[in-house]
Structure 1
Amino acid sequence: MNISFDKQISSLEREILLKSVEIHDSGDDFQFELNKFFSQKEIIAIAPRCIRCNMCVDQCPVDAIEPANIFKIAKITHDCVKCEICVQTCPVSAIKLIDNKVSYNHDEGDEAIEYNLASISRPHRVVRMNDISIDYSDLANYDNCAKFCPTDAFTLEFKSYFEELGIDVDIELEDDVLYPVINKKLCIGCGACVQFCENDSVKLDRTIGPIVHTKNLEINQDECVNCYLCEENCPVEAIWLDEEKVVLNNDKCIRCINCTSHCPVGALNFVEID
C-alpha cells in the first residue's frame, strides 16, 4: 500500500473553526499560520479481514488490543507501544504497520498539506499447528467456527461425508444433521475455531515461533542525563540505570517506542538490522 493525498489549507481552517464551536469557543478572531513542517510516525492498524482469532490479543505484552468477537474485529487501543509483535503474529497478515508522513512547505507556495501512507514490510512469526481435534461426545453449535476459519479447514458436513472418507468419530451420526470436521492439511493453527467453540470441545496444540527482531536499541551513554525516564516508562522492565549507566536486557526488550520517545536528550535510538 502506498497512498498519497493532499488536504487543502482552507479545508483545515474550516475544520478547526467547526471544532472551536463544539467546545463553545469563539472563532471570530481565530487565525493560524503554518510554516514548513514535516512529521513522520508509524501507525498499526487492523484490516477488516481480521478472522477474530485473538492471537494478537494473547501475544500483546501490554494488553493494548481489544478482543474481537462475532460482531467486531480486534482493535488497537491508545495503550499501544508500537512493539510490532501483533504485526508479526497475525496468522492472516491482517495487522499492518503503516508509515505516516505529513508535510507542508509554505515557502514554496503550497496550499495543501501532503499526507503519505505506505505499508512497512515486517517478517512473520512461524505459527504451526501440531494437532487439532474435536470432542464429538460433547457437541455444540459450530456455525461461527466454520464461518471464521480463513482456510475452510473447519467445515460442517453430513453423515455421508464421514462415511465416504471413512472417518470414525466414536458416536452414532444421524441423517440430515451437520457435524464439524477439520481438515488438518488446511489448518494453519490460527485458533479462530477455538475462540468461537461454545463448549471448549475443539482442542488445539500449536507452536508459535519467536519474534524476528528488525531493529536494536542503541544507547549513547555520553548523552544520558540519568533522568530515569527510560526505566520508569519501559512496560517490560527491560532497561534500567546502574551506577549512572544505562543497562539493557536485550532479550527482554520488546523494541517499543516508550524509552526512545521519553528520552529528553535523544540518547536512545533504534537502529535497523541489516
Structure 2
Amino acid sequence: MITVKKPVQKIISDISKNLGIDEKFVKEKLKDLIVPVERNLYVESNKCIRCELCYEMCPVDAIKEPSVKSPAEILPEKCVKCEICAKTCPVGAINVLEGRAKLEEDNVVYELKEIDVTHRKIRLVKHELDEESCIKCGICERFCPTSAITVEKRNSIDINLNLCMGCTACEKVCPKSAIKVENEMGEITAENEISLNNDTCINCMVCSEICPVGAIVYEDGLMKLDDKMCIFCGKCEKNCPVTAIAIKQKNM
C-alpha cells in the first residue's frame, strides 16, 4: 500500500485558479470528497518479453503491439480494465493498481495498492525450428523468459523444450520467422458474476450500446445477457439508469 498526502488548500487554490471558481465554492464541494475505488493497469517495460499475447487477447484493441525495440503499451483511452491482459501475461509484466482518494482533516489522502490477479495457464504443444533459416542472431535467447534457448552467435542454437513454456516470444521476435510455436491457453478464471434483472430493466438499451464485446442484446422484447461473452468491465453496471445490472464477486 502506498499512501500520498496533499494539502487541501493547495488543491483548492489550484482548482480555483485553473477553472476561475471561487475558493469557498470549491472548498464546499470538496468537503465530503471520497473518490470511488478505481483500477488502472500498466506494463512493466523491463519485464515485457514481446510475446504479443496481451495484444492478441485484448477484446477492445487497447494494447499497442510490441516489437523488438518497444514493449507492449496499454492505451488508456481504449482500455476498459477487464484485466484479461494481466491475467494472460506469462511473466507478470502487466500490473493492476487499485486507488482511491479521501479527505482527512487538512489533507487529501491518495491510497494505491497492487492487486494480485489469477494468471491463466499456458502449455507448450509444439515447437519447431527451421535450421536453414535461423541466422543464430540470439534475439530469441534475449527474450526467452525461462532460459530455454542458448545461442552461440552466428554458430549454433540449442533449445531445451523441457524449459519452454510455450509463450511464443521467440517466434514473435525472430527476424527470419525461423521458429514456430503452438501452445494451449487455459481458461481465464472468472472471479465475478453478472446478473440482469428484467423486472427492473426498462429496455433503454444503454447497456447493449455501451458493451464493448456485444454481450448484451435486445431479443423478444427483453434485454438478454450472455455471461460467457462478458468480460466484466463494468461499463453496463455503471451506466444502467435503473441499476438493473449487478456485478458481484463470486463466493470462491
TM-score where L is the length of structure 2: 0.88
Counterpart position of 2:44: 47
Q: Distance in 2 between matches of 1:194 and 1:123?
A: 25
Distance 2:187 2:125 in 1: 16
CA spacing shift, 1:194–1:17, aligned 2, 3 Å? farther
Q: Answer yes or no: is 1:72 the counterpart of 2:70.
A: yes
Letter in 1 for 2:43: I
**Structure 1 unaligned residues grouped into runs of 5+:** 159-176
Cross-structure match for 2:82:
83
Distance 2:66 2:11 in 1: 34
Gaps of 5+ in 2: none
Matched with 1:162 is none
- Greater Rg, structure 1 or structure 2? 1
Q: 1:244 Cα shift?
A: 4.2
| Residue number in structure 1 paired with 2:206 | 229
RMSD: 2.1
Letter in 2 for 1:8: P
1: distance between equivalents of 2:204 and 2:135? 57
Q: After superposition, where does 1:1-274 map in structure 2 within 5 Å?
A: 2-13=1-12, 15-16=14-15, 20=18, 31=23, 32-33=26-27, 34-39=30-35, 40-48=37-45, 49-77=47-75, 78-105=77-104, 110-140=105-135, 142-157=137-152, 177-274=154-251
More deviation, 43-52/83-92: 43-52
Deviations 1:102-132 (A, max 9, x none): 1114xxxx22111111222222111011121
Q: CA deviation at 1:196?
A: 0.9
TM-score (norm 1): 0.81
> SS of the counterpart of 2:177?
coil
User: Residues of 1 paired with 2:169 and 2:16: CA distance?
Assistant: 46
